Amino acid sequence: MQAGTTYAIPCLKTTKTGNFTRRIKGDIVKTATTISQLTLILILLMASSALAENSDYNFHWTASPVVDNDDGALSVAVYYEVWLKKGNAPEERLATQHADTTYVLSAESGIVQRIRVRGVDASGRTSDMSEWSDPIYFESDRSADSLPRMAELRSNYPNPFNPETRIVYGIPQNIQSGEPVRLDIYNLAGIRVRTLEVDRSPGWHEVVWDGSNDLGQTQATGMYVTRFSVGATVTTNKMLMVK
């Protein structure tokens, strides 16, 4: 690669509202040698059955430009690496030499998932990572035939979040009358900041936390712990509130 040649950095965002998808320009990313912008489109391709555990989502990003805004030459990506983030697990690389600018993700139900990409040029030089896509989250069927067999706390979505996040929990069919059910939010100092109202009827339920305490005061950004208890069964999840 010739000295002074710049290289395109993928930058992508998605949004999905109702039954349609909008296209959003990526932020302009600048480093000492790179200027570029890309667009990512997320389209729900298939949710063929309410009983399906997976649904296919189609991600598309525009190809790297060959010149910048000043008509300077850009070293374009010849393929892309695709990375996946599932819930709070470490990110994993899904594809190492993906030549197309479209990737179909078979997304699992009940867990928040995002992808991001980075380009690789003909000399093997990688760009910076793009931004994470908007989160994907959906639930499989939760009819009377799929009641939770035990108390269960699902990953909240989105996570990280601002200003609010949705918490999904399951009440088992064999819950005893008078058995205590609680859904509390704690900060990392172990202080309870909010007790959320719960529905104790058997089945799957969802509640929104708006980042405030029991007095309606907005809490500081940072890590929080969701604690869900049904009788002696306790499950917890971590979630991150950002600016």
Residue 40, pLDDT above cutoff 70: no
Q: Which segment of 4-13, 15-24, 207-216 scores lowest on mean pLDDT?
A: 15-24
Domain end (from 120, 155, 188): 120
Q: Give the three-class secondary structure for 209.
A: strand
Domain that holds residue 185: 144-241
List, for residues 179-190, the tens digit of each pLDDT value: 999 999 999 999
Say how far apart CA 173 and CA 144 lie, in whole Å: 9
Residue 55, pLDDT above cutoff 70: yes
Residue 99, pLDDT above cutoff 60: yes
Kindly state whether residue 20 falls inside one of the protein's structural domains.
yes
Is residue 192 exposed (0-12), middle (13-18) or buried (19+ Cβ within 10 Å)? middle
Kindly state whether residue 136 falls inside one of the protein's structural domains.
no
Q: Give the three-class secondary structure for 196.
A: strand
pLDDT score for 45: 36
SS3 per residue for 5-63:
CEECCCCCCCEEECCEEECEECCCEECCCCEECCEEEEEEEECCCCCCCEEEEEEEECC
Q: What is the mean pLDDT of the chain?
A: 74
Kindly state whether residue 233 falls inside one of the protein's structural domains.
yes
Asked whether residue 16 falls in the same domain as residue 100, the answer is yes
Asked whether residue 20 falls in the same domain as residue 92, the answer is yes
pLDDT score for 221: 94
Task: Name residue 23's amino acid.
Answer: R
- Write the DSSP assignment of 60-98 as a string of letters: EEPPPPSB-TT--BEE--SEEEEEEEETTSPPEEEEEEE
Q: What is the mean pLDDT of residues 202-210?
A: 91
Residue with tokens 């064999």: 174
pLDDT score for 138: 72
Domain end (from 56, 86, 120): 120
pLDDT score for 53: 59
Asked whether residue 113 falls in the same domain as residue 153, the answer is no
pLDDT band at residue 230 under the 50/70/90 scheme = very high
Look at the chain and report how many structural domains it folds into: 2
Asked whether residue 115 falls in the same domain as residue 189, the answer is no
Is residue 145 exposed (0-12), middle (13-18) or buried (19+ Cβ within 10 Å)? exposed
Residue with tokens 């996040």: 165
Kindly state whether residue 52 falls inside one of the protein's structural domains.
yes
Q: Give the three-class secondary structure for 146.
A: helix
Q: Which segment of 60-64, 130-134, 146-150, 231-235 scores lowest on mean pLDDT?
A: 60-64
Length of the chain in residues, anyone? 243
CATH number, domain with residue 232: 2.60.40.4070
Residue 168, pLDDT above cutoff 60: yes
Asked whether residue 23 falls in the same domain as residue 85, the answer is yes
Residue 17, pLDDT above cutoff 50: no
Say how far apart CA 173 and CA 188 lie, in whole Å: 32
List, for residues 102-139, the tens digit of each pLDDT value: 888 888 777 888 898 888 888 888 877 888 888 887 76
pLDDT score for 1: 32
CATH number, domain with residue 31: 2.60.40
